[in-house]
Amino acid sequence: MNEGAMGMSADAKKVALITGANKGIGLETARQLGKLGITVLVGARDAAKGEAAVATLKKEGIDARAVKIDVDKPADYAAVAKLIEKDFGKLDILINNAGVFLDERVASKASKTSQELLRKTFDTNFFAVIELTQTLLPLLEKSPAGRIVNLSSILGSSTLHATPGSPIYASKNLAYDTSKSALNAFTVHLAYELKDTKIKVNAAHPGWVKTDMGGEGAMMEIEDGAKTSVELATIGADGPNGGFIHMGQSLPW
């Protein structure tokens, strides 16, 4: 931990919860926030994997703590909220990073996409995000400057999907794409509700990143893939609210 971070009082030091943070973009986001002197709660559905990730971060001087949270198990939400309330009294940053891509890698047919696939995808990528955010909002309201970052994707852009020649025009995976479009809509609605508060809500497109989800062909390094989340988690009072952002640039809805 840097000297400036050590000098902070317990009340002043920021606390961030990142879901799905034991690997990939989530872990790198925790690392980058931790290096800024922020206490990072590493959310993981597998407690052992969460502890292993935290051990790695601590070796780098980061104030990290593993938190067991399976976003597909709402019973975990209340336990996490209780832990944060008891140990920190507030939550400054919530990064809804956990997500799934269950479609076939090749462009799938909307007419053939199963209800089961759609429901499983929406449960994790949309409904879980809403319920967890609602559960933790009272703690975010106690922060001097709460920040909510929803990990979206350029594949959630209906505008680009409908535009011939766009980078994603030929990339059609109904379940994943529409779950991110819905997440974008939630972002806009919650940002509007909170526009007169100190909380800011934004959607982040990390880029096509070299992770398990990114798959073959991904071009961005994980270090760069985390940058948008970190930026939106630490924006000042003059930063965006209700935006769909990638590396500082707005994306079309």
- Of 77, 176, 200, 227, the active-site residue reads 176
DSSP string, the chain: --HHHHTS-TTTS-EEEETT-SSHHHHHHHHHHHTTT-EEEEEESSHHHHHHHHHHHHHTT--EEEEE--TT-THHHHHHHHHHHHHTS---EEEE------S-SSPPPGGG--HHHHHHHHIIIIIHHHHHHHHHHHHHTTSTT-EEEEE--GGG-HHHHTSTTSTTTT---HHHHHHHHHHHHHHHHHHHHTTTSS-EEEEE---SBSSTTT-TT--B-HHHHTHHHHHHHS--TTS-SS-EEETTEE---
- Active-site residue, 180 included: yes
- Of 180, 200, 210, 227, the active-site residue reads 180
- Active-site residue, 176 included: yes
Residues with catalytic roles: 176, 180
